[in-house]
Structure 1
Amino acid sequence: MNEELFVETPLHVAASAGQTNFALEILRLKPSFGKKLNPEGLSPLHLALQNKHSETVRRLVKLDSELIRVKGREGLTPLHFVAQTDDSDDLLSEFLHLCSSSINDVTSHEETALHMAVKSFSLKAVEVLLGWLRKTYKGEVLCLTDKGGNTVLHTAVSTSQPKACFYLFFGSINIIVVDRILASN
């Protein structure tokens, strides 16, 4: 087995400490470091997010937007991580704008970013994600189920989140109607 599969690179250290300029220079010189996982299963971007270094995060993803899709421990991407917190709706919007395909990424438990937002009771993130889905006509994301066979709406209902249920139900109707209209043309 490859002993160097999980390593702590200088980029992990710089991103974790919020040393933005140093982290950017390392990423420019050694782009592969951005996708490496440390022994805890975290990428440099995961560490910057975990330590609330949003400027470092913004600059790293501006240099390489695919860092948003790096799967860490349990398949969690930085988008999933951001969707779990109510205070990072700006980052969530930025991530979706820079890497729209990340909306389709699922964890090892088959959870989307929307599943993560609902399970974390992050209503702001639910609103941002639904707004993005509405703008991009990606209604199929609402129908995806996790390993337990639950859609996002099932999860919101089972965890007694009436506002999330309202947003999901009425938001999904709008998205599905638009999907059908577009498909019929």
Structure 2
Amino acid sequence: MASLPCTWLCENGQTQTVLQLIDTDPELVRVKGREGITPLHHASEDGDLYLLEKFLSVCLKSLEDVTNKSDTALHIALKNDKVEAFQVLTRCPPSVIGLKEADQCYNKRILNSKNRDGSTLLHIATSKNQVQASLN
């Protein structure tokens, strides 16, 4: 139960405490709170570039996590017009994540994933006219 507060702390602006917790246990970035939201999802929604970079530096696999509505952190960033956050989230090559070479479709799988509404990242960016939401 000690991990649930990490999401709650993130939602309540307790950044330093969150950073101390994830330094102790990087997997706390992946722990889901209400509606399946993780600290990475929350940072994406807020567009907090510092937290996004910190969370990704300790646990890149957190990009795979989805909310109860099947939204990734990438979906959330675009839905909330946080294009800079989207760009931070797409900056890391999949080889850094340490996945097996057999999983070369990793990038495609995340970038083409659909949320519960059937929307991909391209659908969201197009519907919000976010032409600047390009992949690096």
TM-score > 0.5, shorter chain as reference: yes
- Stretch moving more, 107-116 or 130-139: 130-139
Q: Distance in 2 between matches of 1:53 and 1:95?
A: 15
- Is the 1:83–1:114 Cα contact (8 Å) retained in structure 2? yes
Aligned to 2:84: 124
Deviation readout 1:13-40 (Å, 9 max, x if unpaired)? xxxxxxxxxxxxxxxxxxxx323xxxxx
Is the counterpart of residue 151 in structure 1 residue 111 in structure 2? no
Is the counterpart of residue 50 in structure 1 residue 19 in structure 2? no
Q: 1:93 aligns with which of 48, 53, 67?
A: 53
Is the counterpart of residue 34 in structure 1 residue 2 in structure 2? yes
- Computed over aligned residues only, the root mean square deviation of the Cα atoms, in angstroms, reads 1.7
Aligned to 1:107: 67
> What's the secondary structure of 1:162's corresponding residue?
coil
Q: Distance in 2 between matches of 1:121 and 1:78?
A: 18
- Whose radius of gyration is greater, 1 or 2? 1
Q: 1:76 aligns with which of 27, 34, 37?
A: 37
Task: Give the number of aligned pairs.
Answer: 127
TM-score (norm 1): 0.63
Q: Distance in 1 between matches of 2:62 and 2:94?
A: 15
Cα distance change, pair 75–133 in 1 and its aligned pair in 2 (3 A): farther
Q: Distance in 2 between matches of 1:135 and 1:118?
A: 24
Q: Distance in 1 between matches of 2:41 and 2:93?
A: 15
Deviation readout 1:32-63 (Å, 9 max, x if unpaired)? x323xxxxxxx211222122221111101111
Q: Percent identity?
A: 37
Is the counterpart of residue 160 in structure 1 residue 129 in structure 2? yes
Stretches of structure 2 that go unaligned for 5 or more consecutive residues are: 97-103
Q: Which gives a bigger RCO, structure 1 or 2 (Cα 8 Å, sep 6+)? A: 2
- Is the 1:92–1:128 Cα contact (8 Å) retained in structure 2? yes
Cα distance change, pair 125–133 in 1 and its aligned pair in 2 (3 A): farther
> What's the secondary structure of 2:132's corresponding residue?
helix
Stretches of structure 1 that go unaligned for 5 or more consecutive residues are: 1-32, 36-42, 172-185
Aligned to 1:39: none
- Please list every run of at least 4 consecutive aligned residues from structure 1 whose deviation after the TM superposition is greater than 6 angstroms: none
